Structure 1
């Protein structure tokens, strides 16, 4: 029997929840620039009730750990941490960039993904991934926050055609026009919990779930503080 995993994500304009149970994924999703804190918990209740499960019956709770909106990443991490802590279940943090790569595979069968989220302040959250035969995504570049101009100066062309995802491509269309990669557009703009839960299932099978007090967000910018749970070092 497959693991029972709940996933939620509020790191971008998209607010989403997904439940993996008995090999089936039930999902809720709404694009809403604001109000994630009030929307995500009703979504959680809906998918759990539909499956007839309680939080305590889950094997793990996954969340979009970022990068993304500072406020959105905080909300998602905090809500997920509170739910997992109360239900005494472990957590799995999943990259929002990698989740978009997974979305492109789910929708278009893409194996070479280049992801860029608008990070404001004339920067993008950036990463490239290649899907391996076992379904695992290999990071070609380390996730980073970087000005588009710096990307154009450092990223070199290769033999692959990269499918692009994220809001960064439209936000910095002119700045990224000189990027030396063969690229094709896709319709994936935001991460989705239904892709996070697939990646979380892989991580759970590999023993990567952690206690709630050990889970945390990934901002990529160093000057952002995270309020830790009691007892966390």
Structure 2
């Protein structure tokens, strides 16, 4: 009999740094810190605290589940980059899960879910047999229950792992392009 998968789920797509460790379907360790800034500096320490809280180490993991957004552009890049690096170093898969997918997990289809976005808008997505594209629309939505979202992310990742399908690298889910403009600096100089 195969041991239950141990999935470390984490997210920095909103004003928080959040992580949960799932063994089978149970959250065995959870830590969420509200923070508007500093997720890049805090994430690795928080992940180690979650593992230590369950009496486990990095080598005990079966997979990583990472929140891919939508949400804060920099926050999404922090967690996706960390997941990709950890996956390479630990030789475990990193599985990207959107917050909207996690909100829809386990709910009867069809279902439409919404997530608060800046400036009195919401990220909205419909799920029937498959998912529609993410929309950014005017409106309001309540903040998600982050422990439940992390748990759903871990469960989705474990199901994908068990299915044995190809697991692509996680990629950010952006509802719109970045606000940054391309650099006007000249390109690099190549010396021959």
For normalisation by structure 2, the TM-score amounts to 0.75
RMSD value, Cα: 2.9
Of 53, 65, 68, the match for 1:65: 68
CA distance in 2, matches of 1:36, 1:55: 20
What is aligned with 1:181? none
For normalisation by structure 1, the TM-score amounts to 0.63
What is aligned with 2:189? none
Q: 1:217 aligned to 2:188?
A: no
What is aligned with 1:147? 137
Contact 2:115–2:122 under 8 Å retained in 1: yes
What is aligned with 2:160? 203
Where in structure 2 are there 5+ consecutive unaligned residues?
181-192
Of 94, 113, 116, the match for 1:115: 113
CA distance in 1, matches of 2:145, 2:55: 32
Distance 1:189 1:4, change over 3 A: closer
Secondary structure (helix, strand or coil) at the match of 1:39 reads helix
1:69-148 matched pairs, under 5 angstroms: 69-102=72-105, 111=108, 113-120=111-118, 123-129=121-127, 138-139=129-130, 142-148=132-138
Contact 1:17–1:194 under 8 Å retained in 2: no
Distance 1:44 1:209, change over 3 A: farther
Distance 1:223 1:38, change over 3 A: closer
CA distance in 2, matches of 1:192, 1:22: 16
Distance 1:67 1:46, change over 3 A: same
Contact 1:8–1:76 under 8 Å retained in 2: yes
1:6-45 matched pairs, under 5 angstroms: 6-21=8-23, 23-25=25-27, 26-45=29-48
